[in-house]
Amino acid sequence: MPVDRHLLTQEARDLLQLTRDVADKALSPIVDEHEETESYPEEIFATLGEAGLLSLPYPESWGGGGQPYEVYLQVLEELAARWAAVAVAVSVHSLACHPMLAFGSEEQKQRWLPEMLSGSTIGAYSLSEPQAGSDAAALTCKAAVTDDGYRITGTKAWITHGGIADFYNLFARTREGSHGVSCFLVPRDTAGLSFGRPEKKMGLHAVPTTSAHFDNAFVSAERRIGLDGQGLQIAFSALDSGRLGIAAVAVGIAQAALDEAVNYAKERTAFGRRILDHQGLGFLLADMAAAVDSARATYLEAARRRDAGLPYSRNASVAKLVATDAAMKVTTDAVQVLGGYGYTRDFRVERYMREAKITQIFEGTNQIQRLVISRHLAG
């Protein structure tokens, strides 16, 4: 990844080198097989946890890596350039830890946060529902108050790591209205919680995406995060960070596609010259490189604002919009560079193109990002 490494601390440079080493040794050799067979890589997340890559942007005092978001996102990009499904799952895990750190009580954090950040458990985010995706205020999953907790009834959808994650940030309705949604930390083994079959997806085959069904599932009162009715505030605060994660993943996919297209264009000849030396193709590759570099700069700028404690919600939406649209364009063009070969599964650019599409959809569709940006402009 062509980033100005001299702008980073030595610790950050070492961390990125560690990430590349782990990704090259543990991810790259097995990604094609697992994506082709749609099989889950059982040991991968334990390996990433042992390397300290699952909790990088969280404070060391709670067991995190204490890294700025600018560095964490570059780690995500490196992972995504080798295996997008794994990078997405790492981003979602980080997203799932945010509510506890930002809104949990001191007692809750003492009890659960170190385990969440240690790498010994994996988290998932459970916000969307079959009829409530972009419109989070339309949630219908209910949490009925009991003497000692809540009884959850309803269905959640599109859960990355569904059925495999150890804990779930669940957003359920405790009363009517936009201020009637609350957030809960739900363990996987909760009685009454079950999961649907994995979705048949266009890409990201190795990590399952499922629905979750709550059938009068009991969750104790101590597992509610934040105040009653604070759920949407918690959800949206986490999504700003999550959108930066997806932007970094998109850039990783685009960079991998660009690298493969350039390598192919250097080796393939036509009319007595490398196809890279034909101006029409050379300019196409130049535009691809410009799109990747621009997208990376956009997410890094948003991350630096976040690290500096400045408002970054609009910047996160801009980064997600720019990076994911760039990834879709770059991967499509990479297929074009390879011609007929690019349309076959013998070359990874076909997979990169399929993977890029979902980045325009989850963590808020790019139409929603445009809505967020326009509302910021309106004041």
Class of domain 123-232: mainly beta
DSSP 29: T
pLDDT attached to residue 137 = 74
pLDDT attached to residue 4 = 53
Report which residue type is found at 145.
V
CA 112 to chain centre: 22
> How much is the pTM?
0.95
CA separation for the pair 314, 132 (Å, rounded): 23
CA separation for the pair 65, 92 (Å, rounded): 17
pLDDT tens for residues 151-201? Answer: 999 999 999 999 999 999 999 999 998 789 999 999 999 999 999 999 999
Determine phi and psi for 291, rounding to 5 degrees: -65, -40
Does the annotation count 11 as an active-site position? Answer: no
pLDDT attached to residue 140 = 92
pLDDT attached to residue 3 = 53
Long-range contact pairs involving 342-348 (C-beta distance under 8 Å, separation at least 24): 345/36, 347/260, 347/264, 348/32, 348/256, 348/257, 348/260
pLDDT attached to residue 119 = 85
* Residue of 174, 186, 183 whose CA lies nearest to 220: 186
* Domain parsing of the chain, residue ranges: 5-117, 123-232, 238-377
Tell me which residues of the chain have a pLDDT lower than 50: none
**Which member of 35, 77, 355, 363 is catalytic?**
363
Q: Taking CA 338 as the corner, what is the angle to CA 332 and CA 340, rounded to the nearest 5 degrees? A: 95
Class of domain 5-117: mainly alpha
Domain made up of 238-377: CATH architecture: Up-down Bundle (1.20)
CA separation for the pair 223, 186 (Å, rounded): 7
